[in-house]
Structure 1
Amino acid sequence: MFAKLKKKIAEEAATAPRTGVRIPRTISKESITSVGADSGDDFASDGSSSRDDLPAQLLRRNDQIRRLEAKLSDYAEQLRLMQKTKDKLEIALEKHQDSSIKKLQDQNETHVASRAKMAEGMTLALEKKDQEWMEKLEAVEMEKAALSAQLNEMSEQSLALFQKRDDRDELEGFQQQELAKVKHMVQIRHRSRSGGCRKKALVFPFALLIPMYSSVQNPMCFREELLLFREESDKKIMDLESRCEELQAIIKQVSEDFHLIEEDSRNLLQKKELKMFLTFRQAALTEEEKERTLLELQKKVASLERRLQGNLSPDEHLQELLQEKSSLEQSLEDTRAQLVTARTDHADTVSSLETQVTPLPLNTELWFSYAECTLRQRTEDLEKSKADVSGQHKICTEITKALEDTRRQKEELQARVSNLSLCFLSNNSKTVTSAFITFFPQVAELTASLVTNQHELSTVTERYSRKKSALKLKYHFVIIVQMSFLEVEVETLTEQQQQQPEVCEEEQNGSVTVDDLDHIQKVNRDLEQQLSEKNRTIKQLQQRLAELKRTLQKELKLKPEGDPPSSNTTVTNTSDLNDSREINFEYLKHVILKFMSCREAEAFHLIRAVSVLLNFTREEEDLLKQTLEYKMSWFGSKPSPKGIIRPSISGSSTHWS
């Protein structure tokens, strides 16, 4: 387009003759219109003028042509200047566009490279963190296995502890019963015997008491060991609970840090996106302005080419050129003003950009490196916090699961123990009731035979004492008679004559006394043997009675030991009844102390014995069970007594009076 315009202007300049006189560039509209009018008048007057006026007209016409050519040359120069300015502006715009595009490309490349580096660093950091957390998970699993093993050991030890405690309680009960039996036997022996028999009877119980006290000392040591083990298990449980609380606090803190890091990373990303958006928007605005100016210039050039190419007369061409000149001058002024403003803005922007471009690479590199480091650090912290939260959450869930499993196992074991104890108690109660039904007549017979044996024993002891005193008197009397007889025989008879009969008489008298003594000793031995056998049978019967009473008092709802088994018999002994009541009172005191000092699970098994000993009703026994279950359970409501609980001892016959 511009090349064609240049060619036409060059051709016109070559064909048009140049004169020395030059017309000024700025010609007013009035002068041009006057010239046109003069030329029109001249042409109009050509027909009336003569041939003599033709040279003058030609000269004037040549002058007008010269003026027009000068104007055309001026217009061509103005067009050249405009073309030069346009070329300069295009070159500057192209350079600016190229530089801006290059800068944008460089920024995009650096951004992509930084993103790639960040992605690689994040992948490497994530891989490292994955490896570290896998190792931590393995360590946590090992700890979990160790904790589960410890929990299993503790559950087994708790079961063994409960079993040993039950065995210890049974041993204590047996020992107390044995001590009560020994005490009772000692009292009976103390009352039944006197003198040497009393000493012999006391030797045997004291010999029995020595191994009993030694057997009591062993369970006490075992009890101390069990208490120490219980304290250690309680300490371990407290340590586990404190560790769970610490882990929960760590999880809470990590979750808060995680939320803060997420907010910081979100703010950084928003700021970065906003900066990129502003830079792209500025570039788009500058490109739009440049395109608009280029379109306007292209339109103007096209209009000029179209007018130059048109086949017009010189006057019309001149008129159109004048109009074009006026429009061009106006547009030129507008464009000059716009160019001045654009130049000033462009110079300001270029200077500011130059001042910014010099430290920009360093600032951008520093900013990008700082952003990469901060983002990498934040991502690492975020991953750490995520992994910590997940690991701690897993650990907490595993610990809670293990605690729930242990609690469930404990409840199951307690339920199983209660069921087994109930089954065992029911079976024992059945067996005891059957044994009681079968052995009760035997016990009655044995008690009757025991009473008769005691009476026989007392009569035998009395007969023995009487015979012994009679034998002593007889022995002294025989000695005195023998001495007097010997004195008489010595005095009356000589040694030779009466030697033989005296020896015979002495032998006869001696044989009589020795036989009597042998007979007395045999009778004494028989009586002692009978006494020892009866004592042995009495001891066996008392042991069987105590065992039956103990099992009945523990398992059945029967009267305590204060009710004597020999009520069906005709003969009773008031001292034995008082002793049995005293023993039963001691047993009741022991049961109540044990019930008040033991745990809920152990006290649950003593409800039956307490209800039997204190004559509880069914409602009172159920209320006691419900309160113990409420204390043993984690959840539930406290049971309330229905109505007023009246003492059930007043309604029934008391056995402790």
Structure 2
Amino acid sequence: MFAKLKKKIAEEAATGPRPGGRMPRSISKESITSIGADSGDDFASDGSSSRDDLPFQLLRRNGQIRKLEAKLSASMKKLQEQNETYQANRAKMAEGMALALEKKDQEWMDKMALLEKEKVALSSRLNEMMEQSLSLFQKRDDLDELEGFQQQELAKVKHMLLRKEELLGQKEKELQQQARELQTTQSALADAQDKLRLLEEEWHESSQLQKNAASLEQSLHSLQAEHEVLKLQHEQHKQKVAMAEEEKDRLVLELQEKVSCLERRLQGNLTEDEHLKELLKEKCALEQKVEETRAELLEARTSHAGAVSSLEAQVSAGTMAELQTLLRTRNESLQSLRENSEVQVSEALWVRFPVNFVKCKCAMLLFCMESELEQEKENLLSSKSEMESLLNRTAEELEQARAELDSRQTVSVEIAKALEETRRQKEELQEQVGSLRVLAKVTEQLGLREEELQVLQEELRTTKADLSQLRAEAELRSREVEQREAEMEAQLVTLRQEVHTKNQQLDTWQSRVSDLELEVEALTEQQQPSAGGEMEQNGAVTADDLAHVQTTNKELEQQLMEKNKTIKQLQQRLAELKRTLQKELKLKPEMEPEVKEKRQDVKADKPERPEKPCPENPVPTPGPSTTTITTTVTNNADLNDSREINFEYLKHVVLKFMSSREAEAYQLIKAVSVLLNFTREEENMLKETLEYKMSWFGSKPSPKGIIRPSISGTPTHWS
């Protein structure tokens, strides 16, 4: 467009006449002066000539004046025509310039709209990238939390295992003590069983002695002399039976209690301590019973020894055979007495009635005595049978009690063994169940973790692919932006050249206008006032047009400067955002040299701006001064924007470091140390403190002296 305009302006300047209505060469200043000189010469010649030639000379001068007037009228017509053509050309040029400027403005507006669209697209992509980076950071936080939970669970499992091992050691010690106690109780039970065997042997001996005593008692029943002794023995036996019954009742009660205890043991799920307490109680009761049985056996031995001694004395007085013979003789004598008495009674009845009466009385007495003797015999026999039955019952009950004791002892031993086995099995099963539960939980957690890891790996792959795509797109966009910047710079250079050429053309036009104004002033002195007024109006119009063109050029330059400012600010923000993304994603800043080159180009462009050629106008215009002021303002604005961006980034990093977990903070140590100019020792101390906070059993790091702020470090430039 500008090249076409340049060509048109050059053609018009070459073909068209010069503006300002300059006189042609035929009627130039030199010709006018030559005409004046000729006229002077004529006048001089006329002065020298005679007075007769005056009318001829006047006629000649009048002819010359008429010719000059005709030439002036022709030149004025030509000047008017040239002015009209010049004004038409100026109007055409203004229209062309306006159309070209409108087209250029439209093109710039289209380009700005495209740039804004691209900016919106890039901002949306940047927002998406930020969201994806936030999601990645959140997932990384979740992974760190999962790792922390895993470490906590492992530490808890280790602690529980150590605690379980300690408890197992204590239980093993307790089991060893209980085994020793069981061995002592088993030895005590063996002693008690030996004592019971001895008691059984003594009881058998006592039973045999009782049998002998019973046989002796049967032999003594026939003796009336020994009736009192038998009564005494009967009373003694009654007392013993009562004692035995009491002991039996007591044994029955104790056995019932044992049965109830065993039933409770079998029914209730008692603990090991309660089992041991009940066994100890039973042991104490058995020991008390053994002592009581010993005392009773000693008493029985003493009583049996006394009875045996009395019986031996009786046996020594008379043998059993003699007693039987005595009983037989007594019976025979009684029968003979009965027969004799009956005979005597029958004989006496016939003799005398009183004798019969006496005999009857004697018979009655004898019958009463016999009945009494029979009753006593029956009572003795019944008491004997009762004693025998009681002895048999007591013997049977003792045997049953012994059998029950043996069976219950065996049952208690078997129950204790079964309880120990069940307890061991229960402990083993509990251990197995606990281990299986732990393994199941660990397997479930591992499965969940594996699934989560797979999902996270897939997400990481997708995010990596997206990041690679975004990086490629960012690189393409950066290349496109660079290309567009290069195109814009080339266009700016061309526009500057065109503006320079236009300024030069304006200077030439202004010089021509000044020349034309001088010529017009010289001509207006000779022309009519009307023609002078028209020329002044034409000159004013051309000055207004030039001022309008200059203002439009200045406005266009200001618009170009503002657009350049916005483009550079956008470039700086893009570079800062790229840096932040690269730092947060731990990527090498690949675009830093390009940004530095751009900054150098910008710095090189900045001092070139005030060196633009300003048009030398007679009217004072604030052209170069305004451009320099705007450039300085934009530089300060760029510095302030960059500082604000850097400060916000520093604040963001510090807040993220302070509010994040230990794992995230550990990853942000490098960024914080770079931003805050930490030394190597300070960075190492930060790492050690964070590792101490992250570890379970680590030791607290000792501070190596007071760490002062690193003044010696080179401060970072926020510009």
TM-score category of the 2 structures, normalised to the smaller one:
0.3 to 0.5
What TM-score, normalized to structure 1?
Answer: 0.36
**Max Rg structure:** 2
